[in-house]
Amino acid sequence: MSNFETLRQKIEAHEARVVVVGLGYVGLPLAVALAHDGYGGFSVTGLDVCEKRVRLVEAGLWPLDPREPVLPGMLKKAVKKGNLSATSDYEVCRDADVIVICVPTPIDEHKDPDYSALWAAITGISQYAKSALVIIESTLAPHTTEDIAQMLWPGVKLAHCPERVMPGCLLHNLRYMPRVIGGYTKEAAELAALFYLQVIATSELHLTDCLTAEIVKTFENAYRDVQIALANELALICQDLNADVWEVRELVNTCPGRDVLKPGPGVGGPCLTKDTWLLASSLGEPAELLMTARAINDGMPSQVVDLTIEALREAKVTLSGATVTILGVAYREGTSDVRESPAIKIMSRLDRAGCEVRFYDPHCDGYDGDIAQALTDSDAAIIVTPHQEFSNLNWRNLGGVMRHRVLVDTRGMVKEAPGGFIFRGLGRV
């Protein structure tokens, strides 16, 4: 029986031994779903270089965002049943039938791909895996899968199925989001598709080659980045012309085929901030539109600081020595994910200018104390993350504890300027 047929039968019978390399926001939900009886029911081992994370998973404890729905309970059940374990030893790949790589692929200070975690994973796997199906879910610059193929044994079947998950809805996206599967060979693509059909609820799997899958993933995030940049550019235009970006946006979107996104203080998260650069790294000439979008979005935290300086100046408060409270640390509403958050970038700029900076975020441990306490004796408040909790705040009462009543809204959360406040809204001056 051929290696292809053996793997096919093991996957269909849910008897394949699975190793998931990287137990972060991508790998851990996948490992849990694959091991859970209600979904994959496979024997799964999670592999991670972080010993603390390995110990927590082994104990059945969720090591990431504690507010992620459903998954912590599923992890506990899978570990208790014996379907899920964790290790930091690549030797577990020796007996694996399917290996899924979910390690970070960030960019370095020069905006070039930082594949240190990826190459470490490939090197570790290549020492042991001789005939497995290897699937890479990590986001890759075009032609990277081809380079990886040269490092693996000829009997290893290689595919690239880029992830499409998002904090706050990890399991839902894993189960229901359409997937693009790029096979280094046709057999690899077919095996990978069969594997994912065992755990996802949608049958919308699109098979292609590795290069196409790489371009699809990097460009779908670059596309979103450009959309956000266009909305942010509109906000800056409205600011210059003394118009209201929120009214303009609403009216533009009454035209069929128009869907202007909401502007904001910049782009956060581990994907949109770097995937354009991964795509650009493979090009001979710069992608000018994509680079312009990156520059606009990277510049938005500075725009917010400029608005704050202007408002403080009106209140006769100098930036150096001012106390500023930032409302919202997470990059996305309803989550505690602070990776690449615009709030951190705004804080850094204010801190360098000599401000005392405070944070309040009801979703983030360590920042989720009392909002009134966070605002006490503050000279200004800046709404950065559009958490639902910020939509109906009683600014009359909150203003009573502030030293100066200055409010900057970057997300359109405040419909009208509160009485007694010096107010600035991004795109609304």
SS3 417: coil
Name the catalytic one among 102, 210, 217, 345. Answer: 217
Note whether 17 and 6 are within 8 A (CB).
no
Name the catalytic one among 271, 274, 345, 364. Answer: 271
Orientation angle between helical segments 288-314 and 210-241, nearest 10 degrees: 30
SS3 114: coil
Locate 429 and state its tokens. Answer: 């001056």
Note whether 99 and 135 are within 8 A (CB).
yes
Locate 198 and state its tokens. Answer: 């065992």
Orientation angle between helical segments 186-197 and 3-12, nearest 10 degrees: 10
Rounded to an integer, what distance in angstroms lies between the CA atom of residue 195 and that of residue 415? 49
SS3 214: helix
Closest CA to 300 of 201, 410, 226: 410
- Kindly tell me the sign of the dihedral angle through the C-alpha atoms of 57, 59, 63, 66: positive
Supply the Cα-derived Rg of the chain in whole angstroms.
Answer: 24
Beta bridge partners of 179: 205
Rounded to an integer, what distance in angstroms lies between the CA atom of residue 61 and that of residue 46? 13
Q: Which amino acid is at 241?
A: L
Residues contacting 134, CB < 8 A, separation 6+: 98, 99, 100, 101, 125, 152, 156, 157, 158, 159
In the residue annotation, 271 being an active-site residue is answered as yes
> Residue 208: phi, psi to the nearest 5?
-155, -165
What stretches of 120-204 adopt beta strand conformation (E)?
133-136, 157-160, 179-183
| Catalytic positions | 217, 271
